[in-house]
Amino acid sequence: MCGIAGLIAAPGAPAPEPATLVALERALAHRGPDGSGHTAVGRVALVQTRLAIIDLAGGDQPLFAGSAALVGNGEIYNYREQRAAMPQTRFATESDNEVALHLWLRDGTRYASALRGMYALAIHERAGRTVTLSRDPFGIKPLYIAQTDAGLAFASEPQALLAAGIVKRALRPAARDELLQVQFTSGAETIFPGIRRVLPGETLLCGDGRVLEHHRLPALPEGGAEEIDADAALRRLDAALTESVDLHQRSDVPYGMFLSGGIDSSVLLVLMARLNTAPVLAFTAGFAAPGAADEREEAATLARAVGARHETLEVTEAMVWRHLPEIVACMDDPAADYAIIPTWFLARRARQEVKVVLSGEGGDEMFAGYGRYRSAARPWWRGGRVMRGRGTFDRLDVLRARPAAWRDGIAAAEAQAATGGRTRLAAAQATDIADWLPHDLLLKLDRCLMAHAVEGRTPFLDHGVAAAAFRLPDALKVRDGMGKWLLRQWLATNCTAARPFARKQGFTVPVGVWIGGVGERLGKLVAMQPGIAEIAEPARVVALFRHAAGRRQSFAAWHLLFYALWHRTHIQGLAPAGDVFETLATR
């Protein structure tokens, strides 16, 4: 896990300035505190900051082979298998990323089809003066590009492009409205004009300071539901999950996992306990607040059942108000998901003992766990509803103007997902896998963990698991009004202590309770922020925070609080200035 960046100057433009490279490196230092490296040849420069996970002594980057150089972020899990498949190739290191470099030398821009892992890679071919940029099919690792008059720049985080002065601080109102309404932004364009995401699975061939061609690897298998019975599906699923978790545990440094009381992390814990001789180290966060879903007791029961070492963390209101400005600051590509709060604190705690954690992101999307999927699968005359059909601020008289096109990106993803013979249920899953997953859940995991130099791994987001799970018949995904049926059945077979068919309380963070306790004071501070005053009536903001006990009101208040802090950092360019109250009061 690392940070990468680079510059590809346009013809006639000056070569990349050393000061710009230093600025990019400093902006990404938190992603790679174990070292840094760069290479500059002609009009192309590559930068990397390293978090050492595999080949601690010899894996420094850039990596060189033939006329090519590579910088990469992430892990190639099948690197041992790929090395074995290239017996004539001389490898200079034991690094997993070196495999990608040699595959590129062999296969060109189609090389990524052989990779299994999470990655954002940049490969400079010096003779042809091209740079190949690639991102993994699920979008687990981030990568952004910016086209300017001087050429093309790329980086692991938009804030690095801003900090280096490559792109000016500004925002797209349409993306801001989408963020406020659904808590994330969709598609290739980010909230920053001039910065776009390299989409999940994309490979871009760049040269002469611009993108020359691109192609894309799919995350999901094509086709409609397959014919398979429950017993055969369970056997296949067990093999796929076991292989994926085994691959995701490849590491030269200590690792652990994030454990909730839910199905996904319970499955991971059971598999890790099966595959490890030493006790698995599991971390769980909880809240001591009214209405909060505190899963520490359920997690502890499961940890005892498999002999895991279980560490718990209580996230308090005081901790949140003290650290919220820096938590939001790490979300440069904004996602107003309140789960950033426990994720950030868990990462800080985990970093005391490990550099790698396995997490259950992707389980709900891959196995149809969300209730919104079941609703979307029903026709309208049976009560079916489109996903995210209502925005957070609908029917709340807070914003100066009603957001108009905030759902366009989601609608585009829905149209793309409803192809290839997919059922309504599978199309709903594919919609989330295309946008919600990479632009909210995985973004949250990446930024909150990398803020503490911790690598997050997601075994459910693996092509073997996708092949075993995504095209299952609907009846093996949803049964008796309950999603993730086959995964629950697997858990029931392998660990009855997990109570997989018990009704689970949805995961919540008590932001409404916390905001309600300080609503009068906090609402006035939020209302005075330039980013908020531009879009909302101050008096209505104060009133919203004063009455933030209701579910819809608390979500809206949280979104405004997040946006106020985010705007202050990433548009105004101001660093956090203490706790949330001190930061919002400082101009």
Look at residue 128 and tell me whether its pLDDT is greater than 90.
no
Where does the pLDDT of residue 140 fall: very low under 50, low under 70, confident under 90, or very high at 90 and above? very high
Where does the pLDDT of residue 506 fall: very low under 50, low under 70, confident under 90, or very high at 90 and above? low
Residues 433-475: tens digit of each pLDDT: 999 999 999 999 999 999 999 999 999 999 999 999 999 999 9
Nearest residue to 578 via CA among 570, 194, 568: 568
- Cα dist. 317→164, 265, 581 in Å? 35, 25, 13
Look at residue 530 and tell me whether its pLDDT is greater than 70.
yes
CA distance 561 to 559: 5
| 2-216 to CATH, choices 3.60.20.10, 3.10.129.10, 3.40.47.10, 2.40.110.10 | 3.60.20.10
Average pLDDT of the chain is 95
* Token output for 278: 């030493």
Residues 167-193: tens digit of each pLDDT: 999 999 999 999 999 999 999 999 999
- Cα dist. 435→151, 157, 429 in Å? 28, 18, 10
**Predicted local confidence at residue 294, as pLDDT:** 82
> Known catalytic residue: 448?
no
- Strand blocks (E) in 491-541: none
Look at residue 1 and tell me whether its pLDDT is greater than 70.
no
Q: Where in the chain is the domain with CATH 3.40.50.620?
A: 230-386+406-498
Q: Which of 2, 330, 448, 495 is catalytic?
A: 2
Where does the pLDDT of residue 293 fall: very low under 50, low under 70, confident under 90, or very high at 90 and above? confident
- Strand blocks (E) in 404-469: 455-457
Q: How many whole angstroms from its chain centre is CA 198?
A: 14
Alpha-helical segments (H) within 123-229: 158-163, 173-182
Please give the backbone phi and psi of residue 473, each rounded to the nearest 5 degrees, phi first: -60, 150
CATH of domain 230-386+406-498: 3.40.50.620
Where does the pLDDT of residue 127 fall: very low under 50, low under 70, confident under 90, or very high at 90 and above? confident
Look at residue 79 and tell me whether its pLDDT is greater than 70.
yes
Question: SS3 of 329, please?
Answer: helix
Residue 168, classified by CB atoms within 10 Å of its CB into exposed (0-12), middle (13-18) or buried (19+), is exposed
Where does the pLDDT of residue 382 fall: very low under 50, low under 70, confident under 90, or very high at 90 and above? confident
Q: Hey, how many other C-beta atoms are within 10 angstroms of the C-beta on 386? A: 16
Average pLDDT, integer, range 55-71: 93
Look at residue 336 and tell me whether its pLDDT is greater than 80.
yes
Average pLDDT, integer, range 332-357: 98
Look at residue 290 and tell me whether its pLDDT is greater than 80.
no
Q: Where in the chain is the domain with CATH 3.60.20.10?
A: 2-216
Buried b (16+ CB within 10 A) or exposed e, 98-132: bbbbbbbbeeebebbebbbbbbbbbbbbeeeebbb
Q: What is the largest CA-CA distance in the chain?
A: 71
**Predicted local confidence at residue 292, as pLDDT:** 75
Q: Of the ranges 198-202, 353-357, 477-481, 497-501, which one carries the lowest mean pLDDT score?
A: 497-501
Buried b (16+ CB within 10 A) or exposed e, 551-560: ebbbbbbbbb
CA distance 50 to 121: 13
